[in-house]
Chain A
Amino acid sequence: MSREKIAAEHIQSMLLTTAQQWQAASHISGALDAKLGDGDHGHVLANGMAAAAEQLREPKNIPEMFMTTASSLMNRMGGAAGALLGSFFLGMATATQEPAELTLVDFSAMCSAGCAAVKRRSRAETGDKTLLDALEPAIHALASCAEAGASIANSLQEAAKAADAGANATVAMTAKHGRAKFLGERSAGHMDPGAHSVSVMFHAWHIAWQDIEGRGV
């Protein structure tokens, strides 16, 4: 049985699980970043989200939680990655219509708004070997599922699968954006660390939702 609504406490679980999963993946993300950047993406991301998690333990409504996450990522991480992941959550916060409870369609629309904010800030396009290459397919999968009336668990699983495929596709790409752009053809052969982190995030959301359903909350 899938839930019809996503409540504030569920969003809280999804974000806290994201913090755990980014922490668990920090060595992998760091190793990926060492191939294309300066190797600090993993621990900087884990620290930024840990700062958000601390504040997320206090009760907040949905837009407040996304705003807290955005601010922590932007200001604790710094750099392009912090600003762009922060912009995603800021976009979600700004697009929130219902502060207490969301349908999957609401949630999907908020994710699309977050993705649009990332695009506007980064000026990158799909195929440029950035986090958008995982984010856009995941958002599209989520939107299709929401439109088709799929369950939340299945929708999040499909989004995670699409993010994985998108992140894997960055391996073959030549970077056209960010610092890795200046590696030119030498950037091919390595996964974009930002795209990897986005796929870890969607998996975290799916894990959190399975847990929510398992507990029958």
Chain B
Amino acid sequence: MAVRTKKLINHPQDIQREMLAGFAAAYPDVIRLTEDGLIVRRVEKEVGKVGLVIGNGTGHEPAMIGLIGPGWLDVNVPGEIFAAPGPDRIVRGIQVADRGAGVLLLVSHHEGDRINAEIAMDLCAAQGIAPVEMVLLYDDISSAPKGSEADRRGTSGLFFVWKMLGAYAEMGASLSECRRMAEKIRDQTRTLAVALTPGSSPINREVMFELPDDEMEIGMGVHGEMGQGRLPFTSADATVAVMLPQILADLPFRSGDEVLVMLNDSGSMTQMELFIAYRHIALLLSGAGIQVYKCWVGRYATTQEMAGMAISLCKVDEQLKSLWDAPAIGANVRWVQP
């Protein structure tokens, strides 16, 4: 124990502030860092459109700082490393995002994020900051059984919500339409992750969990929370073959369905490994009669240098497909239809 990993930082207490400053310096054309530490769009959303706000602990980059911009979200309230921001800063984010059509507060389901968001909602109500609605989002099938979906935690599959909701708000959808759309995308999304080697805390540079060389953990959460259990470490195809059927059975996804697929690298997988895994995912989906509309393969939401990946599927209809295809220009996560 107590083997310290190498992190190129200055002082642990400055990590969050210095990262945000560097991010703002790198992408001044897309985003701006406010004096109170919020990441906001450089060019504000048009008046009369719903504002989209998310607060979260940092350490998961490019999530969520990378997802602020046209076609994405409007304001990110970054907390400290792996800790949700406090309620006053969330309220500030809501005020900044308001363009006269109300604000939707998006909450990836973790205890700290939920509680701080609820307190922020109470403060908005007490201070007459209006109108604002909140939606709790979750996707990780390993964190609670089917039937208890609302107890599940939020992980990388929520990118489907961020992307399509960003497009929907940009089209001029109302606040209640936006909330219902967020719920619809959430309810059609499922994720399962696997971890091979742990990431380390940038604060104390110690590994976040122990995982023997000959084991892997199915269902690992985005802060190193343990999942459903450990299996012997095995091949790419065998790992996909364990994970994908669980995801398909959960919604369930059926033959004839069209889906978006996201294969997220949790921090230090190689592109080589991801594509080998994706190859088998595509093969198994095809065998199940499920058609892939589009896929994203890459590093979108991370747990420091944790080696592992999360497979996410979202069942789509024509409306969701058009929302998916709309352009989204974040600082370092950009999507334009090829």
Q: Which of A3-11, A52-60, A79-87, A146-154 contacts B (4 or more CB under 8 A)?
A: A79-87
A74 to B89: give the CA distance in the assembly, Å.
Answer: 10
Q: Mark B62-82, 1 if CB is under 8 A from A, else 0.
A: 000000000000000001111
- B82 and A38 form a contact (CB under 8 A): yes
B223 interface contact, C-beta 8 A: yes
B57, B115, B119: residue with the most chain A Cβ atoms closer than 10 Å: B115
B6-54 residues with Cβ-Cβ distance < 8 A to A are none
Closest-by-CB residue of A relative to B88 is: A75
Chain B at the A interface: mostly helix, strand, loop or mixed? loop
A87 to B112: give the CA distance in the assembly, Å.
Answer: 13
- B115 and A80 form a contact (CB under 8 A): yes
Listed by A's residue number, 30 A-B pairs whose Cβ atoms lie within 8 Å are A34-B204, A34-B206, A38-B201, A38-B208, A39-B201, A39-B203, A40-B82, A40-B83, A40-B201, A40-B204, A44-B80, A44-B83, A74-B88, A75-B87, A77-B86, A78-B83, A78-B84, A78-B85, A80-B110, A80-B116, A82-B83, A82-B116, A83-B84, A83-B116, A87-B119, A121-B119, A122-B115, A179-B111, A179-B221, A184-B226
A86 to B119: give the CA distance in the assembly, Å.
Answer: 10
Which residue from B86, B118, B153, B208 sits with its C-beta under 8 Å from A121?
B118
Which residue from A38, A71, A122, A182 sits with its C-beta under 8 Å from B221?
A182
A80 to B221: give the CA distance in the assembly, Å.
Answer: 17
- A38 and B203 form a contact (CB under 8 A): yes
* Contact A80 to B84, CB < 8 A, known contacts A179-B225, A182-B225: yes
Q: What are the residues of chain A within 8 A of B119 when measuring CB–CB? A: 74, 83, 86-87, 121
B143 interface contact, C-beta 8 A: yes
Q: Mark B99-123, 1 if CB is under 8 A from A, else 0.
A: 0000000000011100110110000
Q: Mark A101-144, 1 if CB is under 8 A from B, else 0.
A: 00000000000000000000110000000000000000000000
A179 to B303: give the CA distance in the assembly, Å.
Answer: 15
A183 interface contact, C-beta 8 A: yes
Q: Mark B114-149, 1 if CB is under 8 A from A, else 0.
A: 011011000000000000000000000001000000
* Contact A39 to B225, CB < 8 A, known contacts A71-B88, A74-B86, A83-B86: no
Chain A at the B interface: mostly helix, strand, loop or mixed? helix
B154 interface contact, C-beta 8 A: no
Which residue from A38, A76, A78, A177 sits with its C-beta under 8 Å from B223?
A38
- B223 and A83 form a contact (CB under 8 A): no
Q: What are the residues of chain B within 8 A of A87 when measuring CB–CB? A: 115, 119
B330 interface contact, C-beta 8 A: no
Known: A78-B85, A177-B111; 18 extra A-B contacts, CB below 8 A, are: A38-B81, A38-B224, A40-B80, A44-B80, A74-B86, A75-B88, A78-B57, A78-B112, A79-B79, A80-B116, A83-B87, A86-B86, A121-B119, A122-B115, A179-B110, A179-B225, A182-B225, A183-B225
* Contact A79 to B225, CB < 8 A, known contacts A38-B208, A87-B119, A121-B119: no
Q: Taking the nearest CB of chain A, how far is it from the CB of B217, in angstroms? A: 11
A182 to B153: give the CA distance in the assembly, Å.
Answer: 10
Q: Taking the nearest CB of chain B, how far is it from the CB of A77, in angstroms? A: 7
Q: Mark A166-190, 1 if CB is under 8 A from B, else 0.
A: 0000000000011101111010000
Please count how many residues in chain B sit with their CB below 8 Å of the partner chain's CB atoms.
Answer: 32
- A80 and B204 form a contact (CB under 8 A): no
Q: What are the residues of chain A within 8 A of B223 when measuring CB–CB? A: 38, 179
- B83 and A79 form a contact (CB under 8 A): yes
Q: What are the residues of chain B within 8 A of A86 when measuring CB–CB? A: 86, 119
B227 interface contact, C-beta 8 A: yes
B206-236 residues with Cβ-Cβ distance < 8 A to A are 206, 208, 221, 223-227
Which residue from A39, A74, A79 sits with its C-beta under 8 Å from B206?
A39
Q: Taking the nearest CB of chain B, how far is it from the CB of A63, in angstroms? A: 16
B80, B86, B201, B208: residue with the most chain A Cβ atoms closer than 10 Å: B86
Q: What are the residues of chain A within 8 A of B80 when measuring CB–CB? A: 40, 44, 78-79
Q: What are the residues of chain B within 8 A of A34 when measuring CB–CB? A: 204, 206
* Contact A75 to B89, CB < 8 A, known contacts A44-B83, A183-B226, A186-B226: yes
Q: What are the residues of chain A within 8 A of B116 when measuring CB–CB? A: 74, 78-80, 82-83
Q: What are the residues of chain B within 8 A of A182 when measuring CB–CB? A: 143, 153, 221, 225-227
Q: Taking the nearest CB of chain B, how far is it from the CB of A96, in angstroms? A: 17
Q: What are the residues of chain B within 8 A of A71 when measuring CB–CB? A: 88
Q: Taking the nearest CB of chain A, how far is it from the CB of B47, in angstroms? A: 30
A77 to B89: give the CA distance in the assembly, Å.
Answer: 12
